[in-house]
Amino acid sequence: METKELYRILALGEGLRIEFKEAKNGVPDTLYDTVSAFLNREGGVILLGIDDGGNVLGINQQNLMQLKQNIVTALNNPDVINPPFPLAVNEVVHNNEIILYIRVPVSSFVHKHGQIIYDRENDSDFRITDEARISEMYARKRNVFSENQIFPNLCVGDLDPTLFDQVKSRVALVNANHPWLATGYSNERILRDARFLRKDFTTGEEGLTLAAALVFGTDEVIGNLLPAYRIDILVRRENKDRYDDRLLLKTNLIDSYLQSMQFIKDHWPEKFWQDADGNRKDLRELIFRELVANIIIHREYNSATPTQVVIYEDRVEATNPNRRRFTGPLDLETFEAEPKNPNIRAFFNILTWADEIGSGVRNMNKFVANYTGGAHPIFIEDEPFKSTIPMLLQKVGAKAPLFLHLAQLSDKLLDAEKTRALQELPLDLNLKNIDDLDELATLLVGSWSKKSGKLSGLRFLTNNELTVDELKKVGSWSEKSGELLKKRARVLLSTLLLTFTPISLDELANALGYRSRERYRDDYVKPLKDNKLIQYTLEQANDPNQQYIITNRGKLFLGGGAI
């Protein structure tokens, strides 16, 4: 902070975005109320060592280092600020008195201090308990993007000029007429075009943004602005407790993308595929292009949680800091994508490292299915966002009769087409090496029971008292396998199996011996459909030709996978 800015702040006095606090004897009691309020409202600057009237009291030199350490530690503690938000605590000297200052940006999260949400009005922090006000704040945050945070003291000269040359070289490969390639087109013009240099018309503040630092910043700049930021890619095939190989990135997003892609490709075999136009393409390249672009573009950069990608023998799993809209799996057929960092996404689009918003996960679904022969990735919206990319497919195959015995369903009810579909069902990769059918049966039933507990109204009831050992006491594993499930669960399982090909409600009710189709529909079909495990084949619900068919989510459920 320059002296000129300090005098300006002192002259303005406390207000919506300025707060003074005394700190002679330690951290002020209300400091974290103000940090939370600033994060939730419009951001601002907090000066420590100044009273409410703007009089400079300073901070005791003996307490200085401990005071700074206490504040930094607290801001990383979810019991103090939740979610945590690391901030720098800096010094400035005024008339031989030391003052500490903390610049607080507006956050894309709603933050709590001590489980209480604070907001800012004029020069005061106040608690919010009214549900309508809280909902309004969450709605407001949906339009706040951390990438737009302005750093007034960050200059073009602080950025790495070689990265601009690297970007121009990449652009030249895909569009030789792009304006960024014109003679005399400055780096500043590129930053303005990319909206990385912007003016906040609410505050009048203008400058380079967090996105500019992330894309073009030196490692020193990025480390100062986001000390906790990193991408950690691990290979865990032999050493499952630690790793066989590792790539740790704390650098700009351009090099992060390129190095991540190369590292993952080095640890996974290529596999070629011919697209609709007859072009031969490497599916591995296409899959991981989408994965790496997504973890960079949709990361919440104000979170201290690292991005982690783990490469296993049969899958790749990624967890990414996220500002969630809901909790649960993405339905790839119906979900509507929302931008997390729209300017970074648009920039990656220019480099052809990303497509239109929402296309990434859909493309990955298509490419993974082609690579594996039918497996599908799983995306779970949460904090963090979780992606599981299966790279091998384990099919049910010869273990198909196990499902019929668990459902106590006659194999006559499954025609040849349904039977083939059951044999092609992807089995969760964690179960692929289990050949003991008693053990497999109990693990599958356990997964159905556990997952149904998180689904509305499904109630997949099981017999928890029946163990693997008890099953083995019977001459044939199939004799008691059906007893693992109670009647309700057996009917639900049978319904899922019968919908491997389109089937009407009447056909379902007749096959399972229900005279009242309405009761069967309400008790069993509706919960399965409401939880998107089965779906209509036709748009009009009352169409006389309406039928039901299992969804990809329903197949994941049956195969023991995450949904």
Q: Helix, strand, or coil here: 504?
A: coil
Taking all residues of the chain, what is their mean pLDDT, rounded to a whole number?
88
Chain-centroid distance, C-alpha 309: 12
Name the pLDDT band for 232 (thresholds 50, 70, 90).
very high
The number of residues in the chain equals 563
DSSP state, residue 147: G
Cβ–Cβ < 8 Å for 190, 211: no
Q: What is the pLDDT of residue 278?
A: 84
Per-residue burial over 179-189, b if 16 or more Cβ lie within 10 Å, else e, is ebeeeeeebee
Torsion over CA: 552, 554, 558, 562 (sign): positive
pLDDT tens digit sequence for 469-523: 665 665 555 566 667 788 999 999 999 999 999 999 999 999 999 999 999 999 9
Domains of the chain, residue spans: 3-143, 156-225, 231-390, 397-558
pLDDT tens digit sequence for 143-187: 778 888 888 889 999 999 999 999 999 999 988 899 999 998 999
Q: What is the pLDDT of residue 558?
A: 93
What is the residue type of 478? S
Chain-centroid distance, C-alpha 536: 29
In which region does residue 195 sit, left (phi positive, over 0), alpha (psi from -120 to 50) or beta (all else)? left
pLDDT tens digit sequence for 375-396: 888 888 888 899 989 888 888 9
Backbone angles phi and psi of 6, in degrees to 5: -60, -45
DSSP state, residue 392: S
Q: Structure pTM?
A: 0.70
Chain-centroid distance, C-alpha 262: 22
Distance CA 179, CA 451 (A): 53
CATH of 3-143, one of 3.40.50.880, 3.30.950.30, 1.10.150.20, 3.10.20.440: 3.30.950.30
Q: How many other β-carbons are positioned within 10 Å of the β-carbon of residue 246? A: 12
Residues 6+ apart with CB under 8 A from 176: none
- Which CATH architecture fits 231-390? 2-Layer Sandwich (3.30)
Q: How many other β-carbons are positioned within 10 Å of the β-carbon of residue 26? A: 13
Q: What is the pLDDT of residue 556?
A: 86
Name the pLDDT band for 546 (thresholds 50, 70, 90).
very high
* Of 347, 407, 50, residue with least CA distance to 178: 347
Torsion over CA: 121, 125, 126, 131 (sign): positive
Distance CA 71, CA 86 (A): 10
pLDDT tens digit sequence for 63-107: 888 899 899 889 888 899 988 888 888 889 888 889 999 988 888
Backbone angles phi and psi of 337, in degrees to 5: -75, 145
Q: Are strands 231-235 and 206-209 parallel, antiparallel or unpaired?
A: unpaired
Q: What is the pLDDT of residue 411?
A: 82
Name the pLDDT band for 330 (thresholds 50, 70, 90).
confident
